[in-house]
Chain A
């Protein structure tokens, strides 16, 4: 009898703790949602439930700042970078996972090294180069690198490609496929979930990026992205918390929608990056 009760108590304790943790993570998001639809004056108070629902806040923010322009800039950066990443990283990851060549291990270690390198380390010479090309103040320095090299994506795609059995690749080769055909007809279709996860990570990183846009477009407000605009939104309008939170929500929505749509690939991708030794 005592054993049963202990088990039940244990169940209750663990589940209430789990629920409390879930709430702890979720509550700030709830505050954001509720504050975003409050009146300006209520957003300053401690009352958490909106007295009146001001849905028009989501419209008003577009009058306060050129958000549509920032949205277009953010989308340009995130979508072009992701497309470029796929073009350059898929073949590179294939060469690192499925082709045998001398120097492969060394090149892979360079990729891992580049992945760990803080962006600040290479910022000075890169800024110098882009500035002498007259391209600072535009999104070009942010997008172009993805068409050539993105260490994290190459690393992640390689890990996904390694899970495709070598026998499929060998069979395609025996049937007379070129390496390019093996990649496009066998490996890419089989690794679709992994490619989706990698693309999502790339989109999210660039969508949320702050350092890159600050470095290259900080002085040119018409080239700002949403992340950069949000950081100054609060300052521009003297702490209108309701509007600031409305903008915050507008920026978070695409990320959350993507997560919900691709939850499985996402979680798989995250655990994959955990590289269990």
Chain B
């Protein structure tokens, strides 16, 4: 956990004994495939996406310049609004739920005296499941009429909702899947909690602080950089949510041909139509590449802003840790 995002200059590194120009040539040779790859798979397509967003393009006829028409169309596209709403729903609910849940689980595991390894492994295993499989598993476990969750709620006399088939609950069902596979963030937070210096707890205990107060006043502030990482990481996850939503929607629709079938994307009643799913539908099912590119540009701007916040904050934090800028 000592590696930081922006520790670029290795302290105490000996100055190179070779001529500078040669050093740069060696670095260039090592970086060459990556630089070509970056330009081919990120630099060029990113600029092209922005370019396409001002055109009407169907992959067959050459792109036709239409100015801001794609962006204007967004305001009248009802399903665009639905997909923005759904994705924002996930950004707010999924980010909050994922953070509270993983922090809670990690806090409990951190207090275990025995069996830490076993329980940590159990919590992490589901995140190894392919997203498609995890979604189908929850679809089976939460199925109404005889599914295990349905039976369990029945014991308490609770009528379980139709989950993935009910527009009011489908997003909740997908959130449950996402929490089940959040073991990776849980392990990161657990490692951060276990890293908190023990003396701080002992000092607080001498001052008469109970476990809850110690958690609130020592654990939480100490792991706040990791929590910030968790927030931004979860926001990006929610902005990109595609597989789980598409699979849940097409599985619940019971369609015979489930793979990306437009008719059933967003089932039920477009409640699972996320922003990337609508982008995919527009571009690769309706072949309206220009409009898809305009949506991608919007997604890029939002993701970029989230990332910028993360990098900026981490930079600030690590400077503080190393004794301020210039230390």
- B164 interfacial by beta-carbon distance below 8 Å: no
User: Which stretch of A50-58, A64-72, A266-274 is in the interface?
Assistant: A266-274
Q: B30 contacts which of A92, A160, A204 (Cβ < 8 Å)?
A: A92
- A15 interfacial by beta-carbon distance below 8 Å: yes
- B4 interfacial by beta-carbon distance below 8 Å: yes
Q: A94 contacts which of B30, B33, B256, B318 (Cβ < 8 Å)?
A: B30
| Contact-size category for B | 35 or more
How many whole Å from B25's CB to the nearest CB in chain A? 9
Contacts of A117 in B (CB 8 A): 42, 46, 300, 303-304
User: Which stretch of B9-17, B89-97, B212-220 is in the interface?
Assistant: B9-17
Contacts of A147 in B (CB 8 A): 33, 37
- B258 interfacial by beta-carbon distance below 8 Å: yes
- A59 interfacial by beta-carbon distance below 8 Å: no
Contacts of A113 in B (CB 8 A): 304, 307
Q: Cβ of A19 and Cβ of B119 under 8 Å apart? A: yes
Q: B15-53 vs A: 1/0 string, CB under 8 Å?
A: 011000001101110110111111011101110110010
What residue of chain B has the Cβ atom nearest to residue A236's Cβ?
B256
How many whole Å from B56's CB to the nearest CB in chain A? 13
- Number of chain A residues close to chain B: CB under 8 A: 115
- A2 interfacial by beta-carbon distance below 8 Å: no
A118 to B42, CA, bound (A): 11
A109 to B122, CA, bound (A): 35
Contacts of A26 in B (CB 8 A): 122, 125
What residue of chain B has the Cβ atom nearest to residue A110's Cβ?
B38
Q: Cβ of B136 and Cβ of A230 under 8 Å apart? A: yes
Q: What does DSSP make chain B's interface, helix, strand, loop or mixed? A: helix
Contacts of B119 in A (CB 8 A): 18-19, 21-22
How many whole Å from B227's CB to the nearest CB in chain A? 10
- B111 interfacial by beta-carbon distance below 8 Å: yes
Contacts of A135 in B (CB 8 A): none
Q: Cβ of A231 and Cβ of B258 under 8 Å apart? A: yes
Q: Cβ of B133 and Cβ of A251 under 8 Å apart? A: yes
Q: A22-B119, A121-B299 are in contact. Are A131 and B129 (CB under 8 A)?
A: no
Q: Tell me the chain B residues, 246-292 only, with Cβ under 8 Å from chain A.
A: 246-247, 250-251, 254-260, 276, 279-280, 283-284, 289, 292
A248 to B41, CA, bound (A): 32
Q: Cβ of A121 and Cβ of B296 under 8 Å apart? A: yes
Contacts of B128 in A (CB 8 A): 204, 252, 255-256, 259
User: A residues bordering B, Cβ < 8 Å?
Assistant: 10-11, 14-15, 17-19, 21-23, 25-29, 31-32, 35, 44-46, 48, 87-89, 91-92, 94-102, 104-105, 107-114, 116-129, 131, 145, 147-151, 154, 159-160, 162-163, 166, 170, 173-174, 179, 183, 204, 207-208, 210-211, 214-215, 218, 226-228, 230-232, 234-236, 239, 241, 244-245, 248, 251-252, 255-256, 259, 263, 267, 270-277
Subset of 24 A-B contacts with CB under 8 Å: A21-B123, A26-B125, A35-B140, A46-B148, A46-B151, A99-B27, A105-B6, A120-B280, A148-B37, A149-B38, A151-B42, A159-B3, A162-B3, A162-B10, A166-B13, A170-B14, A210-B242, A215-B280, A227-B133, A259-B128, A270-B124, A272-B3, A274-B1, A277-B228
